[in-house]
Structure formats: C-alpha cells, structure tokens
C-alpha cells in the first residue's frame, strides 16, 4: 500500500486534526462527531450550511469549510456515510435562527443519515432544509444510488449557496438557488486506475494498464463501460458528448468548466485536458466564462479525471467570484 | 501508462495551451519558446522575474506565473532543462529597465542554460541577476547536481521575491532577499512510487509496494537510502530530523511549514502528514506561523511527499501573505 498512514482506523481523525492545526483560529475540530466547523459559527444572522459524506473525496467536503462556503462538515469514514448522530449533533451545534441547510450528495447512505438527522433536529425545533446534488450523468441508479450520483459539481452548488448565505439570503432562497445551480451542472468522469481505502489495504477493483472505466463513480462504482484507453482528445470528446448532450445548450451560452482530478492524476495532465475541453466546447458554441482545474472531488489516489460543465448567468458568475476563505488554498 | 495524453511529444505544449486558455487576459502563451508570461509584462517599473526548469513539476513553475509571483516561465520538456535560446528569448521578451531576475533551481542543466542565456542577454545590454535555490538537504551532489538540489522550497523564494518586486524593490534588494529566504528554507522528500515520463512510457525506477526512497529527487534521482516504508509518524520524524537538524532552530522560532505532494498522493494524506509534522515541530519548540498543504513541486504522478520548513520573521510573513494572482488557484 503506497500510502502515508499510521493506524488505518485513525486515518480520517488524523486528517481532520491536520486540517484544524493548519487553520488555527479559523476552524474548530470536534473529535466526538468527526466534525470540522468554522470557529465563528453559528452566526445567528446567517443560515448555517452543512455537508457530510464519506471521506476519501478531499478537498470535498472538510476542506471546503470556511467563510463563504460550508459552515461545517461531518464526514464519515472513507467511502462511508456519516453516522446519523454525527449529522444530528452537527446540526445542533450549527443551529441558527435562520435555519440549517443540509447539502447532500445523492447517495442512499448519505440521504438516509441526513433524513433521520433532520427529523431529530426538527423535533428539537430546528428549521432544516435539504438540497440534493446529483450532477453525474454517467448512470441513472447505481450500486450506491437511486437516481444520479453527486460528484464534483457539488463544488459549484456549495460555492454559490455559500456566497449567497454570506450576503444574507434566507433558507428558502438558498434552496431555490442551489436547485437551479444543480440543474445547470453536469459531470462525468473516467478512471485510469483503481484506489485503495487505507483500512482495506487492497484496490477496490482491477483495471488494466491501458484500460479506462468510462463514467466511474467516486467510490469506484462501475460507470457506463470498460474500454481501451483512448487519447486525451478522444476521452474529452466522450465526456463532453455525455455532459453537454444531457444539458441542452444553445450556441452563445456561457459555462463554468471544471477539470477535476480524481486524486492520482497530476495537475499537468489536468491542464492538458482543460485545453482540449475548452477548445471542444468552443467548437460546440459554448464559451468558457470561468475555469477550474485541479482537485475538487477525489477518490483517494485514483488516477482519472472528471469534467463538469455548468451553465452560468450573471448572478451565478457573481456568486462564483465572491471571496471565500477555506483550508484548501495555495497561499 | 495510466495517463491522459495525445502525442507524448506534445505533452508540454498542450499543457501550456491549457494554462493559457484557462487564464485569458491574464497570461500569454508563446509557443516558439515554450513560454508562459503575464499578459501585462514587462512593466518598465518593475524587475521581471523568470524561472525555467524541466516540466513535470507542476504547479512549478508555469502555474506560478502571475501578479505577485513570476513574470514568465520557460519550461523545458519533461525533466529536461529549457534550451538556452528559450531562456534567452524569454529574458529579451521580459526585458525591463529595472533588470531581469533569473530564479534557478540548482541543477546542472538548468544552470548551464541560464548562465549562457544570461551572457547572451547581457551582450544585448540587459541587466540580469541570478538567484539559485538549493533547499533539498537530502544529498550534497547528485546525478543531476553539483551541490544541493532545488525543490519545493522554491515556492517560498518565488513568493517572497515576487511580492517584493511588486512593491517596487530593486534587483539587488531582490537577490539579497531571495538568498536570505533560500538560506532559511530546508526540504526533504520521500517517494512511495516511481513515475513515468509520457515520452518514455515506462517508470523511471522500480520500487516495491512497501518500500520508500528517503530523500528522493524530483526527477526520480536516488536519495539517501531505500528502506521499508515506515508509519506516517516515523516518516515525518525522519524528515524533520534531517530538515530541522540542518537549519539550526532555537526554541521559540517561528516557521512556515509546507507539506508538498509529489503528484500521486492525495490531499487527505498530506493533511494527515501536516498534523503530525505540526505537532512534532511543536515538540521541538518550533511554532508554525503559516501552513502550506498541497502540491507545490511534483514529479509527475509520483506517490510521495516532501516537507519544507522555512524560518520566518515579520518581513517574510508579510511577503508570504501578500496577495498574488496565478493560474494555480481553487476559486
């Protein structure tokens, strides 16, 4: 196992501790509930925004906690939904007079945990709303999902809703905004390798040196098909056919274009893919208004990438460009 | 080969094109010289700062071009020094009345190219100064180097000198500053896997599933020794012994702490390492003033990480915290 790890059972807590130590003053780590929260949250004047899901997808979601994005994240173990009581306690800790918004990627385990936690929190008199993200066009229903999966497009929903919450939007407005962003966002990914959860110690699946899994899930779930690895240009074309075909565009539309690494693919290859995708989109009459190249939603050390296209208007662009302060930064 | 690539010979140009397309208005790509430069450079009022080295280390150096950091980067092919004429032409294009500063990582090929290009530029009447970065404590002399190698600590030199240049410092002042930052910065890395240059198509070296190369070079050069992979805590301790032992610290000193991924290691593991390093440094009486966790100087898709410790004072902190605008960003 080519990994930096002490006790595999402590992988997630040690990571969370590292995030907190790297951001003193800004973040608080509550070990009892695997919880990373803004040190200044909850603020009575603002809707609290929470996300939780399996770990192993970093920077999603624990490295997206901070001003202008999430108020807290309560991850489960690697590729496991957070326990119900963690979500419930996180919701209680982030209680705000203006309500608590749960942003949930569409996986059966996560939805169950958040639904139950919501009921428990509502019984305590906390106003809770739920926003589901399901941007992955690869498959409808999967081993982990009824309906589509939520993947890297999640970033755009968090960024937009987080910025709007910061500027004072109410919870109903945020739900409506988040639904609109999710509805305008489509993603598909391709895996070139498998990945190894630390506690398992073995790859989740086998894949040949010159194969690819088209439409891979972020927990290694099967996608649309196994195929011989094509050239970068062929792969981009395959992905954009699926993504752009699913979200009808008109010539002249503007989009945010994200090339997301799945963990083991270096940023050099991601920019190579970005350049190809940018040009192919132009060929389809779609202009890129904002680029995102890097790791946003990963599968441990999997080699691979996903492409997300989100249609933008002036309002969404303003929210995407709003400042934010999160652990996941360069400087 | 688990890579996104079209023609391996076009790997670097396609990457550079992607960087330029992702940053319209801000960056200019000059294909003749493999050159990425600020679209608003050169500015007569400011010293121009240039770096060039082999590709395959991204975000170093081409993704660090922008306001407050590099004015241009002219990379060579993967793990190859840039040709002399590329460096010369880049220096000419970035010509400024206040001079052109070359920041060179200490590798024999890079130094030769930059020395010759400097002579050619000086013959044209361009004022050029050179700053050498050699932060890697692993080995003194190597297959690629006389003296120490320059690795991830390079980021701190660029950030500090870039910020000072932006605020009007002269070239002599920048050289002096850069030497001071380099002298206060130490790095060592560990590899858990090899890496595969696209045009070679095969791993640079072999390494077992449970081995590590302690003190790895960023081109896969051997380090201090091959060993059984230890726990994350043991690895951090080994690195800090080398790094902190080399740069004498006094209890109460403050440092910038960087955990840098070598390309194939996910950010979750980097934060795990960060937490351990932060605590071990505290145990040595060194407080962390600023954290850096992510990819800064990579070796393609190599699994591994390096740790950099840089002693900071108020002046360096101010320069590290100064704003910058580069392609390598999250938002």
Each residue's pLDDT tens digit in chain B (331 positions)? 999 999 999 999 999 999 999 999 999 999 999 999 999 999 889 999 999 999 999 999 999 999 999 999 999 999 999 999 999 999 999 999 999 999 999 999 999 999 999 999 999 999 999 999 999 999 988 778 889 999 999 999 999 999 999 999 999 999 999 999 999 999 999 999 999 999 999 999 999 999 999 999 999 999 999 999 999 999 999 999 999 999 988 888 999 999 999 999 999 999 999 999 999 999 999 999 999 999 999 999 999 999 999 999 999 999 999 999 999 989 8
A210 touches chain B (CB under 8 A): yes
Task: Please indicate whether, in this complex, the C-beta atoms of B301 and A264 are within 8 angstroms of each other.
Answer: yes
Nearest to A295 among B2, B267, B300 (CB): B267
Task: Please indicate whether, in this complex, the C-beta atoms of B320 and A301 are within 8 angstroms of each other.
Answer: no
Q: Pull the structure tokens for residue A267.
A: 């940023």
The number of beta carbons lying within 10 Å of the beta carbon of residue B280 is 18
Q: Which residues of A are catalytic?
A: 57, 219
Residue B108 burial by Cβ neighbours in a 10 Å radius (0-12, 13-18, 19+): middle
Known catalytic residue: B57?
A: yes
B211–chain A nearest CA distance, Å: 8
A29 touches chain B (CB under 8 A): no
Considering only the top CATH level, what class is A9-183?
A: alpha beta
How would DSSP label each residue in B52-75? Answer: ---BSSTTTTGGGBSBTSBSEE--
Judge if pTM exceeds 0.95.
yes
Task: Please indicate whether, in this complex, the C-beta atoms of A266 and B4 are within 8 angstroms of each other.
Answer: no
Q: To 10 degrees, what angle do helices A314-321 and A154-166 make?
A: 80
Q: CATH 3.30.1180.20 in chain B, residues?
A: 185-314
B94 touches chain A (CB under 8 A): no
A220 touches chain B (CB under 8 A): no
Whose CA is closest to B292, among A218, A71, A21, A310?
Answer: A21
List chain B residues with CB under 8 Å of A159.
331
Burial letters for A60-69: b for 16+ Cβ neighbours within 10 Å, e otherwise? bbbbbbbbbb
Task: Please indicate whether, in this complex, the C-beta atoms of B22 and A278 are within 8 angstroms of each other.
Answer: yes
Which of residues 280 through 299 in chain B touch A, CB cutoff 8 A?
288, 291, 293-295, 298
Q: What is the pLDDT of residues A239-296, one digit of tens each?
A: 999 999 999 888 889 999 999 999 999 999 999 999 999 999 999 999 999 999 999 9
Known catalytic residue: B61?
A: no
CATH architecture of the domain covering B185-314 = 2-Layer Sandwich (3.30)
Beta partners for residue B103, in sequence order: B51, B131
CA-angle at A330, arms to A329 and B3, nearest 5°: 100
Whose CA is closest to B222, among B212, B234, B233, B209?
Answer: B212
As for the ipTM of the complex, it is 0.97
């Amino acid at each position: 196992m080519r990994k930096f790890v002490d006790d595999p059972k402590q992988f997630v807590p040690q990571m969370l501790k590292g995030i907190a130590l790297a951001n003193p003053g800004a973040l608080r780590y509550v070990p009892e509930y695997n919880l990373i929260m803004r040190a200044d949250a909850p603020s009575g004047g603002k809707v609290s925004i929470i996300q939780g899901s399996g770990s192993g997808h970093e920077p999603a979601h624990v490295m997206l906690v901070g001003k202008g994005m999430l108020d807290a994240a309560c991850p489960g173990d690697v590729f496991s939904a957070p326990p119900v009581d963690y979500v419930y306690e996180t919701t209680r800790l982030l209680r705000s007079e203006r309500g608590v918004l749960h942003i949930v990627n569409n996986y059966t385990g996560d939805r169950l945990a958040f639904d139950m936690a919501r009921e428990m929190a509502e019984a305590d008199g906390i106003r809770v709303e739920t926003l589901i993200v399901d941007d992955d066009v690869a498959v409808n229903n999967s081993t982990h999902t009824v309906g589509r999966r939520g993947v890297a497009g999640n970033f755009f929903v968090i960024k937009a809703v987080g910025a709007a919450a910061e500027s004072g939007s109410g919870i109903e407005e945020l739900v409506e905004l988040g639904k609109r962003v999710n509805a305008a966002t489509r993603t598909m990914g391709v895996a070139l390798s498998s990945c190894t959860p630390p506690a398992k110690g073995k790859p989740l699946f086998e894949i040949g040196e010159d194969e690819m899994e088209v439409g891979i899930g972020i927990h290694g779930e099967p996608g649309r098909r196994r195929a011989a690895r094509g050239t970068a240009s062929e792969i981009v074309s395959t992905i954009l056919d699926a993504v752009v075909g699913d979200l009808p565009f008109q010539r002249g539309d503007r989009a945010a274009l994200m090339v997301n690494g799945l963990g083991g693919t270096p940023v050099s290859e991601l920019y190579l893919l970005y350049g190809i995708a940018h040009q192919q989109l132009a060929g389809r009459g779609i202009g890129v208004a904002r680029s995102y190249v890097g790791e946003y939603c990963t599968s441990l050390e999997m080699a691979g990438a996903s492409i997300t296209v989100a249609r933008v208007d002036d309002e969404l662009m303003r929210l995407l460009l709003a400042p934010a302060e999160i652990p996941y930064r360069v400087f």
